[in-house]
Amino acid sequence: METTTKTDRRIVRTKEAINKAFLELFSEKELEQITINDIAERANVNRGTIYLHYSDKYDLLDKCIEEHLLRLINFCSTNESGQGITFLVTDLTPVFHYFAENYLFFSAMLTNHRTSVFRGRLQHFMSANLKEKLAKQNLQSGIDTELNAEFMASAFIGILEWWITNDMPHSPQYMAEQVRKLYEKNEVFPV
């Protein structure tokens, strides 16, 4: 039983090292320029170790995106307030802290020219959850719920991209307050 725990921890540490190395490289150069050898060298592992966990660099990218989106979903649905997606929209401070804590990932994903897949998946995640929230509110604003959700998701992702690509010039709390005020000012989300 103890051996399994030690093995699992080593696997987790190895995967973390591989992911970190990949993200560092991805923030430095285009995906096509990154080789498995580059990743192995940076992670201080053998090429074969990478292939034990990932079929190629595209699989590594896909799993990295999937892992962070799942962590974001879990983070938003298991927050302290127990409010699920309401929390994501009404109290953005912890969400911006999450982005700040995972800066390497989000910086690599949002500043690399070939990351439209990540942006699209993040857009889908945000708009689907916002649409669900807006539908529950039964607003009579005359604005189509789906269009409203897409607008809010696009605005949020645009601000997030600006914040990340400019090396987070403001604190997560400040960003959360500003985004909330923008939503309220534009009556995109009711107070």
What are the domain boundaries of the chain? 1-54, 57-191
CATH of 1-54 among 2.60.40.10, 2.60.120.560, 3.60.20.10, 1.10.10.60 = 1.10.10.60
The fold for domain 57-191 equals: Tetracycline Repressor; domain 2 (1.10.357)
Please state the pTM of the whole predicted model.
Answer: 0.64
Burial class (CB in 10 A: 0-12, 13-18, 19+), 41: middle
Amino acid in position 114: R
Higher-confidence residue of 166 and 87: namely: 166
Lowest-pLDDT range, 35-39, 71-75, 149-153?
71-75
- Side-chain-side CA neighbours of residue 55 (13 Å): 4
DSSP reduced 3-state for 169: coil
How many CB atoms lie under 10 A from the CB of residue 85? 20
Q: For 92-150, how does the pLDDT look when each residue is reduced to its tens digit (9 = 90+)?
A: 788 888 889 988 888 888 776 656 778 888 888 888 888 887 777 766 777 788 888 88
Alpha-carbon distance of 53 to 48, in angstroms, equals 9
Q: For 22-62, how does the pLDDT look when each residue is reduced to its tens digit (9 = 90+)?
A: 999 988 888 889 999 999 999 999 999 999 999 999 999 98
Cα separations in angstroms, 123 against 44, 110, 131, 132, 172: 34, 12, 12, 14, 20
Higher-confidence residue of 11 and 139: namely: 11
Amino acid 84: pLDDT:
46
Amino acid 77: pLDDT:
67
